[in-house]
């Protein structure tokens, strides 16, 4: 079970492991917490700009999410249906129904219901900073950890991360493509967050290069979102080279599988 904040997060950070699990006959469950209404609209219309209709954006992103799940052969898609809260500091943080404003216990209770129904051996979500500081990612982390504590079902829990070594190479590739992270809206109001971890702190490195084309296709299903376009511009081969190993920190384990490991299901097979 992968718990993500928005439609498209499943592709960028866990597309490889979801596709690999599917190929190995492991049932996968994607839980997407928000509707993505604060994303870009058709034609690249930015949230808050004239013509940006949050309800229409959410409907478009729902279709994109289903196409991504088809590419990754996700077994079950579950939507919590909260409103996308937007980036930290946006007025949408406090809008009625926004995920950021929902009490953790309330959303955790709903997620716990899904955990009891599907009984996942492995649960994947973000770290305390939501990987890069987005409020919905932070909330997804809090809700997931609370739901795991309520159910005590998963044998293993992971947080997604990125190795500092790989991020340097990725930054270089994006610069070559003319993308400057400092100009993206992600960092508009704040200095770039410290994301990822030193390589030595990463517990789990999963080689998903054989599934690079599926991960690319899943991200391509979300091409309406401007931040995905730079990755798509790399083409499948380069994308797979740069994004083909997915990394995690293991934060709960009842199997005793030795670390570092190269398989989310080590100790469970
Ligand atoms: Zn997201």
Q: 27-57 pLDDT, tens per residue?
A: 999 999 999 999 999 989 999 999 999 999 9
Q: 70-96 pLDDT, tens per residue?
A: 999 999 999 999 999 999 999 999 999
| pTM of the shown model | 0.94
Look up the CATH number of the domain holding residue 132: 3.40.50.10320
CA 164 to ligand 1 centroid distance, Å: 20
CA 137 to ligand 1 centroid distance, Å: 6
User: How many other CB atoms are found less than 10 A from the CB of residue 215?
Assistant: 31
The two tokens of residue 127 are 């770290």
Which pLDDT does position 170 carry in this prediction? 85
150 falls within a domain: yes
CA 62 to ligand 1 centroid distance, Å: 14
120 falls within a domain: yes
pLDDT of residue 187 exceeding 50, the answer is no
CA 263 to ligand 1 centroid distance, Å: 24
60 falls within a domain: yes
Through-space distance between the first and last CA atoms of the chain, rounded to whole angstroms = 16
How many alpha carbons lie under 13 Å from residue 114 in its C-beta half-sphere? 22
pLDDT of residue 177 exceeding 80, the answer is yes
The two tokens of residue 111 are 């997620």
Can you give the residue range of the structural domain that contains 137?
2-253
Average pLDDT, whole number, for the chain? 94
CA 136 to ligand 1 centroid distance, Å: 7
How many domains is the chain partitioned into structurally? Answer: 1
How many alpha carbons lie under 13 Å from residue 150 in its C-beta half-sphere? 19
260 falls within a domain: no
83 falls within a domain: yes
267 falls within a domain: no
Alpha carbon separation from 116 to 4, 78, 151, 222 (Å, rounded): 18, 14, 7, 30
Beta-carbon contacts of 251 under 8 Å, excluding residues fewer than 6 positions away, are 157, 158, 159
Chain-centroid distance of CA 3 in Å reads 7
Q: What percent of the chain has pLDDT over 70?
A: 94
Sheet holding 2-4, edge to edge: 76-82, 29-34, 2-4, 122-125, 156-161, 245-253, 204-207
CA 147 to ligand 1 centroid distance, Å: 20
269 falls within a domain: no
Contact present, 140 and 148 (Cβ < 8 Å) = no
67 falls within a domain: yes
Alpha carbon separation from 50 to 41, 59, 124, 258 (Å, rounded): 11, 18, 37, 54
């Amino acid at each position: 079970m992968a718990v993500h904040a928005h439609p498209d997060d499943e592709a960028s950070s866990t597309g490889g492991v979801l596709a690999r699990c599917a190929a190995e006959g492991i049932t996968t469950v994607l839980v997407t917490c928000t509707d993505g209404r604060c994303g870009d609209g058709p034609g690249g219309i930015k949230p808050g700009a004239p013509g940006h209709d949050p309800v229409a954006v959410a409907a478009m992103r729902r279709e994109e999410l289903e196409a991504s799940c088809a590419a990754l052969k996700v077994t079950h898609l579950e939507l919590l249906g909260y409103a996308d809260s937007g980036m930290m500091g946006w007025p949408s943080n406090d809008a009625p129904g926004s995920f950021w404003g929902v009490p953790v216990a309330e959303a955790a209770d709903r997620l716990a219901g899904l955990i009891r129904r599907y009984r996942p051996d492995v649960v994947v979500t973000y770290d305390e900073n939501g990987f890069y500081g987005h409020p919905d990612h932070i909330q997804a982390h809090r809700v997931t950890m609370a739901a795991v504590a309520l159910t005590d079902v998963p044998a293993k829990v992971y947080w997604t991360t990125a190795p500092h070594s790989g991020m340097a190479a990725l930054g270089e590739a994006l610069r070559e493509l003319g993308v400057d992270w400092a100009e993206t809206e992600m960092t508009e109001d704040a200095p770039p967050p410290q994301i990822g971890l030193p390589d030595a702190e990463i517990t789990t490195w999963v080689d998903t290069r054989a599934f690079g084309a599926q991960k690319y296709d899943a991200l391509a299903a979300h091409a309406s979102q401007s931040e995905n376009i730079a990755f798509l511009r790399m083409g499948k081969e380069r994308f797979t080279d740069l994004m083909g190993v997915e990394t995690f920190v293991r934060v709960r384990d009842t199997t005793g599988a030795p670390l570092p490991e190269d398989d989310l299901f080590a100790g469970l097979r």
